[in-house]
Chain A
């Protein structure tokens, strides 16, 4: 199955863009609007990057998107401000031992044991809660990255936490809260097949809300 990587520059000066960026629920809708009803992707991954180059929306999907609606509402419709590329060269380039620069925005969580209320005859129950501190979030990354087929402990590699946010936004009359952390650094591939799967299927929870998309770049491209 072929996959596509798409980059769309968002125009932060437009009023609609501010509304869009305030709610991952809306971005999720905008991303889905890039696909026709007859050809829906299985589960598109997306991420907002706030870089010195501007605010950008990245999407990885197994259907080629048509970003017209996003450009018209939130971008520069007439400018050359978006790209979509077949993801195959990247997926093919991944092989064991290779070193890449990466970025991942994820939703680091763990299952906490919530003690029962006093007087209740039930036992403790599990609840998924976000990791709160930078230390916990980095630890979450380091303890799991093995399962994604990558290592960040070899010489010349490493991971840094570059952004932490708690997103709160309304969805169907309720408030959704998602704690996100953005990791950046240099990794080494330890299991190419597993990493390939993660690149298109994503990492962790809250994938509808801009989490889980891991992107790679050639190391030389990173300043």
Chain B
């Protein structure tokens, strides 16, 4: 089996799975239906075409940088301005980075990697308004899905890595398999993207974590606040709390 590793990074991403009507939410991580749809778009499949060949892929996500949720409030009116459309709220993840792995037959994986480099349709991160900020393809490997996700170096942005400790635990969400039993189910296994009748099946997923090293960690207790001759050196940036210094202690002890 071969695994294709993708990075999904951009100023905005949006991964809705249960949105209805005026609230268009985002999940905390890319959904399987979104990534299968992305692959299908790269291959040039139309929405009504079958996607059985993509459903044999095993899917996993590593949350390298969770980002934060931002809300976009939108109004719209009819073209002739005669009436208003409902107010809508659209939610996005900002500044998030995810690593996605898909595992499958070697021929299929290599075809997908090639298609992602020359996509038939434009690719975006969950919504048309969310273009990727980095190349999607990280590479292919002969490892299986979980080892491939676990061995990849941390992909978070440099500014983010500098704020974090030397050892990080990243959230890992993978299709349940022989080594990882399901501890959750999600209804985002796409059966058909046909706009007349979209259908999604339940899939068993395993939520776990994955340790990565942080080469850019800035350990606050590395001795930079060294004491020289009892005088703390000038790198004292953050004032500490005032103690209970009591000038009245000459007269009383309390």
Name A's B-contacting residues (CB within 8 A): 5, 7, 49-53, 58, 83, 85, 89-90, 93, 101-103, 134-135, 138-139, 142, 152-164, 182, 184, 186, 215-218, 221-223
Contact = CB atoms under 8 A, between A and B. Distances in A.
B249 A218 contact: yes
Contacts, number: 99
A93 B237 CA distance: 35
Nearest to A86: B251
B239 A51 contact: no
Determine the main DSSP class of B at the interface with A. Answer: loop
A182 B251 CA distance: 24
B239 A134 contact: yes
Interface in B206-254: 227, 229-232, 234-237, 239-253
A160 B227 CA distance: 11
A158 B232 contact: yes
B244 A53 contact: yes
Contacts of A222: 243, 245
A142 B241 CA distance: 21
Interface residues of B, number: 24
Contacts of B237: 134
Given A153-B229, A155-B230, A161 B239 contact: yes
Contact of A217 (B236, B240, B245): B245
A153 B245 contact: no
Residue among B232, B237, B239 having the largest count of chain A Cβ atoms under 10 Å: B239
B251 A85 contact: yes
Given A138-B234, A218-B249, A221-B253, A51 B229 contact: no
Contact of B240 (A49, A83, A160): A160
Contacts of A142: 231
